[in-house]
Amino acid sequence: MAQNMETLFYFKDLLKQRDIIEREQIASELLRIHMTRKAYEQKYQSVESVDEKALYKLMKENTEGPLGYFPGDQTWFFELFQAGKEINFIQALTEIYQKDRSGIIVSPDYLVGYFAKSAMAGHIEAVFIPEAHKHLHGLTELIETNLDKNFVLSAEQKWLAEGLKFIFEPYNHVEVLHFSLYTPFPLNREFDLIIALPAFGLKPDIDTDRFITRESEGIAAEHLLEWLNEYGELQIVVPARFTFSGGTFAKLRAWIVQHFYIKSIFTLPEGTLRPYTGMKTYLITISCHPVDSVRLGEFELKKGQFLPHVQKEIFREELQEREDWRMELLLADDRDHLLHGLARPGRSIVKLKEIAELFRGKSIMKSHIQPGEISVLNISNIEEGEIIWDGMDTIDEEYRKVRRYELERGDLVITCRGTVNKAAVVRELPKKVIASANIIVVRFSKKVMSEYVKIFLESPLGTQLIKTFQRGTTVMNINPADLGEMEIPLPDLEEQQKLVEEYQQEHQLYLETVRKAQERWQKNRRQIYDQLFD
């Protein structure tokens, strides 16, 4: 292994001398070396003594079609060939894409190990793994432990498809296809099991209404479900927003529960897919075969194995009745029923988007911070539910360009990034202030008191509800459109006013009590200190 890495370092250094430094270029040229070696061995049986001219000719014939033109002459290719011919391609590829954020290799070996066990089920014969390179940590083991299955692997990029063909050429039960999961593709196949980890948050440029949503993970799910046979299952890793976002994602969820059966939803441990993403992610299993209940829970990593821990089971009908699949609410004991139980005459349950306008503030670069007339509200300017107006950053910008982000009296501001949820009401405006991109501004209609909504959001139930809309794990990331789907109990204006006044009176009493206690403590402490020297 160490020798392999030393040789790889020398190989990369040769490429660097020709300004070939991108990961894809390095991996592609290493693949070219191995494809050429294979062709040379097939024709001449050995690469112990290589004819430079014949080698170059075979390279052009066998690799320039799938990999493009070689960026050098015969002599340089020969030197590159000698440097790379003994490098283990899979080990090198995992090293090249170590700490990769581009999505070439994503799954840790323990996640692939879980997929391998899923494929072992006796009824499974045909398995499809789109973008199979993402599972390269353990993919060979998955294939080798299921020799009685037929596998179809795919890749969107040509060189990755060629790489998979090269790796799995010795296996008769493996076929590799080159196509995109995010465009219409007539794959006339049906599978018993599909294992997928689609791209998150991309919007492919496709001129079609073929798919319910334009988001990559939604397109992938819809595509793949259509390629299952009557007993087939899809195991798909998705970001949190797949489970709760409104709009087209809500339509997609409705389509799924109408035509298929959710078998399980499991939370993946924090950091499972890092550094590719720090988002909160789930593994959802969707079946064509009827199931009576849905298993909910989380995966646990024990002794190198990924084990599902079932925390709760719910009836399929319960999931069908819901607009979202938010795990925190599904797992919470009757918390969702509690919310709707708060509804009574004079108090309804409404979504924030029905009573307010929600928008994110302006993205401000550090270089934009300079003396100016416009102040910027950021996370650090909100403390203990209050806005600290002093010490705000400022920008020197034309007012008309930032007017859409300006705060107004009565706005509710909520932090949407960071590690702690903060909320405050704009009770005064001593100067021109805009919200930063770390802030969501909620601007209510006249029938809603922002102070009342702030109190609800600070309550245990409100805090829990906000957490269900977080896309991140450790670091919070909330989207305004997602937050707009949040439901809150809304009493009439008179009751809102009553609750707000009672809250403010008690809060003021608390602050006064704390102030007096602090003064008493400071006074008595000084007296005790003085006694030390009497």
Upper half-sphere CA count for residue 50 (Cβ side, 13 Å): 25
What pLDDT is recorded for position 110? 93
CB distance 444 to 355 below 8 Å = yes
Three-state SS at 295:
strand
The enclosing H or E element of 114 equals helix 109-119
CA-to-CA distance for 504 and 252, rounded, in angstroms? 43
Asked whether the predicted pLDDT for residue 447 surpasses 70, the reply is yes
Please write the tens of the pLDDT for every residue from 482-495. Answer: 888 888 889 889 99
Phi then psi dihedrals of residue 149, to 5 deg: -105, 160
CA-to-CA distance for 191 and 161, rounded, in angstroms? 20
Please write the tens of the pLDDT for every residue from 217-239. Answer: 999 999 999 999 999 999 999 99
Apex 279 CA angle, 112 and 300, nearest 5: 45
> In the sheet that 261-267 helps form, which strands lie side by side, from edge to edge?
174-178, 150-155, 126-129, 191-196, 228-239, 281-287, 261-267, 293-302, 305-315
- Own/partner contacts of 495-504, CB < 8 Å, gap of 24 or more, are 495/346, 495/347, 496/448, 496/449, 496/452, 497/449, 499/452, 499/455, 500/449, 500/451, 500/452, 500/455, 503/451, 503/455, 504/451
Asked whether the predicted pLDDT for residue 334 surpasses 50, the reply is no
Q: How confident is the model at residue 463 (pLDDT cuts 50, 70, 90)?
A: confident
Quick one: which of 488, 471, 489 has its CA closest to 480?
A: 471
Please write the tens of the pLDDT for every residue from 49-81. Answer: 889 999 999 999 999 999 999 999 999 999 999
Please write the tens of the pLDDT for every residue from 28-44. Answer: 999 999 999 999 999 98
Phi then psi dihedrals of residue 521, to 5 deg: -65, -45
Q: For helices 89-96 and 2-16, what crossing angle results, to 10°?
A: 60
Quote the tokens at residue 165: 């063909």
What pLDDT is recorded for position 341? 57
Quote the tokens at residue 259: 């035509």
What pLDDT is recorded for position 292? 87
CA-to-CA distance for 273 and 526, rounded, in angstroms? 55
CB distance 230 to 216 below 8 Å = no
What percentage of the chain carries pLDDT values higher than 90?
61
Apex 72 CA angle, 68 and 75, nearest 5: 130
Quick one: which of 244, 335, 334, 332 has its CA closest to 284?
A: 244
What average pLDDT does range 250-267 have in this prediction?
A: 94
Q: How confident is the model at residue 294 (pLDDT cuts 50, 70, 90)?
A: very high
CB distance 289 to 260 below 8 Å = no
CA-to-CA distance for 397 and 369, rounded, in angstroms? 10
Please write the tens of the pLDDT for every residue from 98-154. Answer: 888 888 999 999 999 999 999 998 889 999 999 999 999 999 999 999 999 999 999
